[in-house]
Amino acid sequence: MTTQQPPRSFTAHLLSSFTSPISSLPTPTPDPIYKPAEVPLIKNAKRLTTTRTKQLMRAAERAHDDPPPPPGLGECCGSSCDP
């Protein structure tokens, strides 16, 4: 014999969702930005600067669309250098 829980009201559901820990929420696995077959296309692109090629290669190494870590103390973070 299985016992069914009574249906919760919308307000009760909303309150429980706000009070539940974030770690209990489902996290979907993001899709990769670039497929491994596309990486040679990035390397062989004719109109990319060296800096942009490096940026795209670093992005291709990441498993998903995850922003790079912030620069460390004393590291350049402007557009005039290679972040």
| Close Cβ partners of 8 (under 8 Å, ≥ 6 residues apart) | 16
User: What's the distance, Cα to Cα, between the start and end of the chain in Å?
Assistant: 62
Which residue ranges make up each domain of the chain? Answer: 31-65
In sequence order, what DSSP letters do the residues of 37-58 get, joined into one string?
Answer: GGHHHHHT-SS--HHHHHHHHH
Contact between residue 48 and residue 77 where contact means Cβ atoms under 8 Å apart: no
Q: Could you tell me the pTM of the whole model?
A: 0.34
Tell me what pLDDT residue 31 has. Answer: 67
What does each of the 83 residues of the chain score in pLDDT, given as a tens digit?
555 565 567 777 666 666 656 555 566 666 666 666 666 676 777 788 888 888 887 777 776 666 667 777 777 666 556 54
